[in-house]
Amino acid sequence: MFREVRIKNFKIGGDNPIVLIAGPCVIESEAHALYHAEAIRDICEKSGVNFIFKSSYDKANRSSMKSYRGPGIDKGLRILSKIKKRLGVAVLTDVHCRSELARAKEVADIIQIPAFLCRQTDFIIAAAKTKKIVNIKKGQFLSPWDVENVIEKISRSGNKNIIITERGVMFGYNNLVTDFRSLQIMRGFGYPVVYDATHSVQLPGGRGCASGGEREFVRGLSRAAAAMGCDGLFLEVHKDPDKAPCDGPNMIKLGKLGELLSEVKKIDRIVKLS
pLDDT higher than 90, residue 262: yes
pLDDT higher than 80, residue 207: no
pLDDT higher than 90, residue 108: yes
Mean pLDDT rounded to a whole number for the chain: 95
Contact of 241 with 215, CB cutoff 8 Å: yes
Q: Where are the domains of the chain?
A: 5-273
Average pLDDT over residues 18-26: 97
pLDDT higher than 80, residue 5: yes
Give dist(CA 52, CA 34) in Å, integer: 13
pLDDT for res 89: 98
CB count in 10 Å sphere of residue 114: 19
Average pLDDT over residues 206-228: 89
Q: What distance, in Å, lies between the first and last C-alpha atoms of the chain? A: 19
Q: State which H helix or E strand residue 94 sits in.
A: strand 90-94
DSSP for residue 59: -
pLDDT tens for each residue of 38-95: 999 999 999 999 999 999 999 887 777 778 898 999 999 999 999 999 999 999 999 9
pLDDT for res 114: 96
Average pLDDT over residues 27-37: 98
pLDDT higher than 80, residue 186: yes
Geometric angle at alpha carbon 107, from 101 and 109, rounded to 5°: 90
Give dist(CA 239, CA 22) in Å, integer: 13
Say what percent of the chain tops pLDDT 70. 98
pLDDT higher than 80, residue 274: no
Which band of pLDDT confidence, cut at 50, 70 and 90, is reported for residue 212? confident
Average pLDDT over residues 116-122: 97
pLDDT for res 64: 73
Q: Please say whether the structural domain 5-273 has been given the CATH code 3.20.20.70.
A: yes
